[in-house]
Structure 1
Amino acid sequence: MKRILVIDDATTVRMYYRQVLEAQGFAVEEAGNGYEGLEKALVGSFDLYIVDVNMPKMDGYTLLRTIRQEPSICATPAIMISTEGQAQDATAAYAAGANLYFQKPVRPETLVLHVRLLTGEVAP
């Protein structure tokens, strides 16, 4: 079973991603900010990170740049999702190390498709 770490300061958003992904057979863990996400990423073994941009304590850009510098976790793919929809927002996400960038809200089928592609998971 593929493990996903959802890092977002909004509880309802984390619950939404959890519900969508667990219904498709993924194991989901949550973190409420960048620091908590980094701690979990360093001690856990995840197949994908889903990262919000705007979070207290450590934003998503800083989190991804930090993850990409850690040899043990730098190769794990990441999807950055934000309410920000300008071209420069996507550019900043990719520069920080995101594999994909989506603007909220993300349709469930779009999320599941790309999570499957990035984790190499086939549909059940």
Structure 2
Amino acid sequence: MANILIVDDSASMRNMVSATLQSSGHQVADADNGQNALTKAKSGSYDAVITDLNMPVMNGIDLIKNLRTLPNYKYTPMLLLTTESSAEKKAEGKQAGATGWLVKPFNPEKLLATVDRVLG
């Protein structure tokens, strides 16, 4: 299965997403903000990234922009999992390089189906 990086400033949200992904056999690493995630991504290798949008230090859109500049993450699926659902934010995420957008609270089955789809 895939090695997935989860990024969210909420520990309970990281735990829920981790449990959902691990129940389907995925390996999971996590970070509490975009800067810590970027550091982990540079020193590791992940098959997908699931990030919140609104976080301290570095938000999810800036994280995706930074990851897309790295050769190892040019084509890596990156999903935004956020409470934001405006068309403007979704367009900003897509422009930054986001592969998809999921709205919190998330449906575990939908999250797994989306992850499976973007991983091919």
User: TM-score, normalised to structure 1's length?
Assistant: 0.93
Partner amino acid for 1:70?
L
Equivalent pair of 1:42/1:73 in contact (CA under 8 Å): no
Question: What are the within-5 Å matches in structure 2 for residues 50-61 of structure 1?
Answer: 50-61=50-61
- Count of residue pairs the alignment pairs up: 120
Percent identity at matched positions?
Answer: 36
C-alpha distance in structure 2 between counterparts of 1:72 and 1:85, whole Å: 29
Q: Which one has a larger percent helix, Structure 1 or Structure 2?
A: 2
Query: Deviation digits for residues 33-91 of structure 1, max 9, x if unmatched?
Result: 00110011111111100011000000111110011111122211100111111111111
RMSD of aligned Cα (Å): 0.9
Match of 1:30 in 2: 30
Structure 2: tracts of 5 or more residues without a match: none
Residue 68 of structure 1 pairs with residue 68 of structure 2: yes
State TM-score, norm by structure 2. Answer: 0.96
Residue 21 of structure 1 is matched in structure 2 by 21
Q: Counterpart in 2 of 1:2?
A: 2
Deviation at 1:95, TM superposition (A): 0.9
